Amino acid sequence: MMHTNYTIKESPPSVEDFASLRKLIGWSNPCLSVVQKSIDASLFWATIYLDSNLVGCGRVIGDGAMYFYIQDVIIHPEHQNKGLGSKIMNTLITHLESCCAPGATIGLLAAHGKESFYLKFGFKPRDGQSLGLGMCRFI
């Protein structure tokens, strides 16, 4: 259940707050100018603050027409298991359902061990059968 002082916003975080939250959960960051470009290129953001402190975020990236990807769903470790991740996902899904044309694809890459969290939002694992397996390459 959400604490009464949590505020959800549909706006991006500051570059410093976003980079700090990523670092806090063990994700690396490129230089801040690259992080800022990534923030600016996002299609939609959902952020959660406790007072003025960023404690959660998620965003939508993609081409804005056919393909959309949910990215960087992050909840501060001290605020996990309070429904904040679900609040972020519900905000992102509500936005996508309001703007996506029929036939659009919404994808995501789940962190290891977090796959079951996304099942309740209608995401299905790619088992390698009908759709093949997902792949990625890091530069």
DSSP state, residue 103 = T
Rounded to two decimals, what is the model's pTM?
A: 0.91
88, 95 Cβ separation under 8 angstroms: no
Q: Domains in the chain: how many in total?
A: 1
CATH number (domain holding residue 88): 3.40.630.30
Closest CA to 37 of 20, 19, 58: 19
> Which residue range is the domain that position 115 belongs to?
6-119
Residue 134, domain member (yes or no): no
State the DSSP string of 35-103. Answer: HHHHHHH-SEEEEEEETTEEEEEEEEEE-SSSEEEEEEEEE-GGGTTSSHHHHHHHHHHHHHHHHPPTT
Residue 105, domain member (yes or no): yes
Residue 33, domain member (yes or no): yes
Residue 115, domain member (yes or no): yes
Residue 127, domain member (yes or no): no
Q: What is the pLDDT of residues 24-74, one digit of tens each?
A: 999 999 999 999 999 999 999 999 999 999 999 999 999 999 999 999 999
Residue 132, domain member (yes or no): no
98, 126 Cβ separation under 8 angstroms: no
Provide mean pLDDT across the span 111-134. 85
